[in-house]
Structure 1
Amino acid sequence: MRAKCRRRRVEVLVGVVMVVVAAGVVWVLLSEPKTLKPPPVFVVTPRHSHLSRVHNTPGEELHTQPGSEVPPDRMWHLDLKGGAPRVEVIERMMTLAAQAGATSVLVEWEDMFPFTGDLANLSAYNAYTFDEVKRVERAAKSAGLTMVHLMQSLGHLEYALKLPQWAGLREGESPGEACPSHPGSASLVIEAVRQLMATLPTSMIHIGADEVFTLAQCQRCQARDLAPLQLYVEHVAHVARYLKTKWGVRVLVWDDMLRHAPSHLLHTLAGLVEPTVWAYGPDVSRMVPPYILRTYSAIFPKVWLAPAFKGATGPRAIMPDVARHAANTLAWVQVGQRMRRYANMNVAGIVITGWSRYDHFAVLCELLPPSAPSLVLTLLTASRGFLTPATLHDAHVLLGCPPHVILDPARDPHLWAARDCAFPGANMASFLHRYARLRDDIRAMQREAKDTGGWLTDYNIRHNFSSPKRVREATSDLRSFTSSLRDLYGEVEPVLAQYHNNATVEEWTEQHLTPLNHTLSTLARTVAALLTHTTWPRRPLEWRPPPGT
């Protein structure tokens, strides 16, 4: 019996030692993430760790095929003006987009292209190298995608017009739009396109030209005594005509500025540009009435349609509303089918836009890797022409989801469930899910304490007058929230740096984690100050005895 007890004690002791050693190893792994070799970008990180886990669905077949009445060209918009991914991430995303039905990729380089010569200052300090740009081109070709450049030509030129070198091209005080009458505006665009084409020749170029809010405001434009839209159309026609003559390319342009233009101005652009009609709500016919599409179909030989897969539901969103974007895409596909049948509109294709910032000065919105489920589902919808359980099944397969994951946009609009799948970016989606829950919990605590409750209001704080018991109750989760935020700070670099450069990691951290840290720190100091008091004055709290008493 004694020997048995001794043996049992030894087994328990060995078990305790093993647990302690294992805990020590885990502590070392978590406390020194920078010493670890980062996993490949396609490795999925489990929800509460940054160790690898991969789901495989070998041999599983797609249930759908591209439809016959869908836009023949499905273009994926790769916006690089915010959170530009590492090239190896783009390579993986090219393949995934092609598998989901994309036929081409619209690359908006902005300041991430390595411009040279007189345009050298256009490039960000961390722009891609020429070798990286060529890798992007090879990745598109390998995936079977046709590359198309997007070079803004009038609006959204902030990345150039913010600089002293090109400040003289501004239409007004804002660096948002260039002057259509200044010859330097067209020269800037043409030289930028020349450098793009010298490095990566393409058969189509999108010249943007959307959201030009300040027309005919400068003295140069006013001296011409032309209507604002006429100034706009003349500039676009000049740029498009030059590009078509020089390189023989098809020229695309966003249509929002054309919707209010009279037909004689639209005829000026006929044969020069192909309008890209965009609207990002579920009811696209309300935003773009059918008569506008009928007008386009009568004037332009080819028209494009444009929903979104991200970057269209709020400038500070962190995860796409997949349900909204899929419905938006389906609406455009159906509108295109109706306009082909009843208005003879030639729908050349559909552009699945994905904005990374609302403009050059805006903060980051949804990053590309965790937005992969939205990209896949919108491309499947665009290429199949329907959104059914079979479409969701194919998204499940392409995203590498395990059997327990259910993709249900109706109940899970952001498809958070996909964070357990194996697409490039799933571990970032898992990280963002934890961040979003913590952010919402902190906001709820702050709202309950300051706006709903009656013991942590500005009045209480200003007068150092509150119930210690109530203060503790209102902030009972403060310590655990602080610990959770500390965990996120420890994981943000190991996770995000797999997909983005350090500048993007730092920018995202400052925009999202730093405000939460400020909120919790401020609240902690407030609580500490209130709890130092053990006695309080009689009311009124700022009582001043009358003079002479």
Structure 2
Amino acid sequence: MSEDGFAEFDEDDDPDAYYRYSFYQTKPVQDPQQLEEAEKWEETVIRVTAPFSLIAKWCQNRFPATRRTWRRRLAAVTVLLFLVLVFTVASVLHSPRLRRFNFDSQRAREAGMRGTNKRQLQAKSSSILDEARSRHRHAAVDAGKLPNVNVHLKHPINVRSINEMTGFGHQGQLDSHKTLKHGGVVLPGPEIQPGEHVLVHLDFKGAPPKISYLKKLFPLIKELGATGIMIEYEDTFPFWGELKRYSSSTEKYSIHQVSQIVASAKQLNLIIIPLVDTIGNLDWILKHSDFGPYREIPTNPQTLCPSKEAGFELIKAIIDQILTLHNESNWIHLGGAGAQSIGECRVCKERTARRKWSREDLYLDHMSKIAQYVKVKYDMQAIIWDDELRSISHEKLSKSPLTDLIEPMILNYKESKPGDNSTLDLTSYQGSFKYIWGAGAFKGADSVDSLFPSYEGRLKNILEWVQFIRKTEGTTSLSFRGFVLIGRQSYISTHIFCRFSHFSTLCELLPVSLPVLGMILQVVKGSPPTSSAVIQYLTDVFSCPSLFEELAKATEDNNRANFHKNCKFDGSQIFSLALSIHSARANLDTLENSQSVKGYWTKYNLDNGFVSPMTMSQLDVIKTFLEINDTMTRILHSSEAVFGEVYGPDTVYELLDTFVIPLTSRARKWAAIARNVSTFGVSSGGFRGWKSRPVHHNGPSLGHLAEDL
């Protein structure tokens, strides 16, 4: 016996006992039950190794003392080889290459092309696929035609008008029996076929979200039904070389972080289209004094001169670096908007006079050169905004090489005015382009300093697009490639939608706009925003009880004050904070314009003590001013941490200095006035009186007062 009480065996004396001992080293072999189990295991090993009897016999003769050890090893090898074989077969059967081969082979058999070469096979496959998509689109259009409704939406939006505009009957009943499925939830709705892709535009410049937040945002965008994202970096991109010093000095992404963005999107099968402005809206780079000579107008850094070769080289350098990190993208958006001022500089005037060109020719030449560069060097399809193309005649446009190089993206972010069809008129594009894109907006398109996007305005915009796509698809030679929901960081109040300017303020932050994005994405995909299935689906996705019921009913901005603040989606704390700021600002604006303040709390009355606090209306005003001040004090103390969950410290500082600190100063000023008003008429020595009016004036003359102003 060994020291631990186990039996000791020598392999040469009793091989079977030695084997059992070596296998049950941690248990006494005297236990009959364990011996019985060992015998059963041996029998199993013998049966498994039976097909290899010759090898087993050879091992037994060659190594007789350890025959069971060899049997055990042989059994293990056999099982391992079997598992490897199963895994190999499964991998081959499920490989993408084999599936693609079977897919192409099937199409080849259908088309009678089994013996053709690979290039012909792919061309035929693409033709068959396009034909199938075309039939599907036409079927969807025929099945989901809209009733004849007022496309201009003069009247306030309501449930009935929404159902009519989206092709649904009253109370959300379907006029078509088609359904859409999102995230495992079946949503009713006629399919509108907005194209192959539905993209969400992410505007990083000015307020780039943290990478940690983007990694949480991308799955939400995917869940809501988007197929990709369009990213606008500008100076948040990590340029290198000569361009490095023109990146944002504080909050820019690193090369590694951009790689993380690309990898996160790829993992979710979200395509990425980088947006690079190439003629207008270039203030991010032209604002630097080094590029003053590149401007079309020296005092305006918005527009690049299209007649200077140095400007063209600058754009090429920017594109090269961005596409180095986005080398798997199939499209690139080259901007093309904001070029109204081209043709104004001396060089452009001399060039147009020499070639007998118009301003339109300058634009077409510049954009053609850029698109040609992208096509030749990167074999990538270019997209541009169609703003400048709308005013170009069909004859001139059809003769331009630009039509073979780009796909126009039609941007319409507001509901059309009566008689205005310029933004949604495709007449001049027929015969010139094969594919077009559509673009609406989910934020940054309603007010220059708003905290929230207008739900009513965004919904009307998308509903008009839904109707337009349904009426257009199948009736022209143009096909919709996709639809993009634009989300600008800031807004410029002009008649033409203008992207974020580095001279305007931030508005409608991304986390605050996500519920509206979720709602209108369902509309783009063909579901009515008022249906119970959509509301329940969005409620579950965002964990926002009652929010979407109120969104579906809301027609006025002040209804947002009633929105629930207990949402749980990523960024919901900023959403709740913005609700509090919005409510405080709305209440403060209301009080400042109330009869009690405008009629009684004038500077003259306050300076001379002509205020009586002992009326119900005055007491309510005093109480409300004090409550607003308490609210803004709490917001001031918590907002830095809340904003910091999504944005960097410099962006947080700008948000505080724009939305929180000025409002807190206003609230404190009125709270101090309210406290003083509450003590008028009472003094420590008893009752206090008021002066007679008008008060005798001993100060400077009125003329001196006017001069001081």
Q: Which residue of 2 aligns with 1:447?
A: 593
In 2, the alpha carbon distance for the partners of 1:525 and 1:388 equals 46
Instruction: State the Cα deviation string for residues 325-378 of structure 1 (Å, max 9, x = none).
Output: 233223213212211222232111111111112322111111111211122222
1:411 shift after superposition? 1.8
AA at the equivalent of 1:396: T
In 1, the alpha carbon distance for the partners of 2:672 and 2:568 equals 42
AA at the equivalent of 1:128: Y
Instruction: Answer whether contact 1:297 1:346 (CA < 8 A) is retained.
Output: no
The answer to whether residue 199 in structure 2 is matched with residue 75 in structure 1 is yes
Instruction: Answer whether contact 1:209 1:236 (CA < 8 A) is retained.
Output: yes
AA at the equivalent of 1:455: Y
Judge which range, 407-416 or 213-222, deviates more: 407-416
Q: 5+ residue gaps in structure 1?
A: 1-58
| Distance verdict in 2 for CA 1:527–1:479, change over 3 Å | closer
**Which secondary structure state, in structure 1, belongs to the residue aligned with residue 216 of structure 2?**
helix
Instruction: Answer whether contact 1:280 1:312 (CA < 8 A) is retained.
Output: yes
2:656 to 509, 513, 518: 509
Instruction: State the Cα deviation string for residues 292-339 of structure 1 (Å, max 9, x = none).
Output: 312213311111110111111112121122343233223213212211
Q: Which residue of 1 aligns with 2:542?
A: 399
1:65 shift after superposition? 8.3
**Which secondary structure state, in structure 1, belongs to the residue aligned with residue 262 of structure 2?**
helix
Q: Which residue of 2 aligns with 1:151?
A: 276
1:453 shift after superposition? 3.5
Judge which range, 66-75 or 292-301, deviates more: 66-75
**Which secondary structure state, in structure 2, belongs to the residue aligned with residue 391 of structure 1?**
helix
Instruction: Answer whether contact 1:75 1:102 (CA < 8 A) is retained.
Output: yes
Instruction: Answer whether contact 1:97 1:379 (CA < 8 A) is retained.
Output: no
In 2, the alpha carbon distance for the partners of 1:69 and 1:285 equals 26
Q: Which residue of 1 aligns with 2:383?
A: 252
2:577 to 431, 434, 442: 431
2:292 to 163, 167, 171: 167
Please list, as runs of the form range in 1=range in 2, the aligned pairs for 1:118-129 lying within 5 A after superposition. 118-125=242-249, 126-129=251-254
1:215 to 323, 327, 342: 342
The answer to whether residue 266 in structure 2 is matched with residue 141 in structure 1 is yes
| Distance verdict in 2 for CA 1:357–1:469, change over 3 Å | same
1:386 shift after superposition? 4.9
| Distance verdict in 2 for CA 1:290–1:183, change over 3 Å | closer
In 2, the alpha carbon distance for the partners of 1:290 and 1:164 equals 36
Structure having greater relative contact order (Cα 8 Å, sep ≥ 6): 1
Q: 5+ residue gaps in structure 2?
A: 1-182, 492-500, 682-687, 700-709
Please list, as runs of the form range in 1=range in 2, the aligned pairs for 1:8-407 lying within 5 A after superposition. 61-64=185-188, 67=191, 69-125=193-249, 126-172=251-297, 173-201=299-327, 202-224=329-351, 225=353, 226-267=357-398, 268=400, 269-283=402-416, 287-289=420-422, 292-358=425-491, 359-384=501-526, 386-389=528-531, 390-402=533-545, 405-407=547-549
Q: Which residue of 1 aligns with 2:90?
A: none
| Distance verdict in 2 for CA 1:369–1:169, change over 3 Å | same
In 2, the alpha carbon distance for the partners of 1:114 and 1:433 equals 34
AA at the equivalent of 2:461: N
In 1, the alpha carbon distance for the partners of 2:359 and 2:222 equals 41
Q: Which residue of 2 aligns with 1:484?
A: 631
In 1, the alpha carbon distance for the partners of 2:302 and 2:186 equals 45
In 2, the alpha carbon distance for the partners of 1:418 and 1:213 equals 44
Instruction: Answer whether contact 1:152 1:209 (CA < 8 A) is retained.
Output: yes
Q: Which residue of 1 aligns with 2:643?
A: 496
2:602 to 432, 457, 463: 457
Instruction: Answer whether contact 2:523 2:529 (CA < 8 A) is retained.
Output: yes
In 2, the alpha carbon distance for the partners of 1:141 and 1:112 equals 21
AA at the equivalent of 1:161: L
1:191 shift after superposition? 0.7
1:285 shift after superposition? 8.7
| Distance verdict in 2 for CA 1:297–1:101, change over 3 Å | farther
| Distance verdict in 2 for CA 1:434–1:525, change over 3 Å | closer
Judge which range, 64-73 or 526-535, deviates more: 526-535
**Which secondary structure state, in structure 2, belongs to the residue aligned with residue 499 of structure 1?**
coil
1:64 shift after superposition? 4.9
AA at the equivalent of 1:114: P
Instruction: Answer whether contact 1:254 1:275 (CA < 8 A) is retained.
Output: yes
1:461 shift after superposition? 4.6
Instruction: Answer whether contact 1:305 1:349 (CA < 8 A) is retained.
Output: yes
| Distance verdict in 2 for CA 1:66–1:186, change over 3 Å | farther
In 2, the alpha carbon distance for the partners of 1:488 and 1:302 equals 49
| Distance verdict in 2 for CA 1:385–1:115, change over 3 Å | same
AA at the equivalent of 2:695: L
In 2, the alpha carbon distance for the partners of 1:295 and 1:429 equals 43
Q: Which residue of 1 aligns with 2:15?
A: none
Instruction: State the Cα deviation string for residues 186-218 of structure 1 (Å, max 9, x = none).
Output: 222211110011122121110112122322221
In 2, the alpha carbon distance for the partners of 1:66 and 1:128 equals 41
In 1, the alpha carbon distance for the partners of 2:404 and 2:349 equals 29
1:282 shift after superposition? 3.1
Instruction: Answer whether contact 1:66 1:101 (CA < 8 A) is retained.
Output: no
Instruction: Answer whether contact 1:81 1:112 (CA < 8 A) is retained.
Output: yes
In 2, the alpha carbon distance for the partners of 1:493 and 1:282 equals 37
Instruction: Answer whether contact 1:333 1:382 (CA < 8 A) is retained.
Output: yes
In 2, the alpha carbon distance for the partners of 1:236 and 1:419 equals 47
In 2, the alpha carbon distance for the partners of 1:137 and 1:234 equals 32
**Which secondary structure state, in structure 2, belongs to the residue aligned with residue 317 of structure 1?**
coil
In 2, the alpha carbon distance for the partners of 1:64 and 1:491 equals 42
Instruction: State the Cα deviation string for residues 49-76 of structure 1 (Å, max 9, x = none).
Output: xxxxxxxxxx973435893733221111
| Distance verdict in 2 for CA 1:387–1:295, change over 3 Å | farther
Instruction: Answer whether contact 1:448 1:474 (CA < 8 A) is retained.
Output: no
| Distance verdict in 2 for CA 1:338–1:468, change over 3 Å | closer
Question: Between Structure 1 and Structure 2, how many residues are aligned?
Answer: 485
User: Structure 2 length as normaliser, TM-score?
Assistant: 0.64
Judge which range, 417-426 or 88-97, deviates more: 417-426
Instruction: Answer whether contact 1:372 1:423 (CA < 8 A) is retained.
Output: no
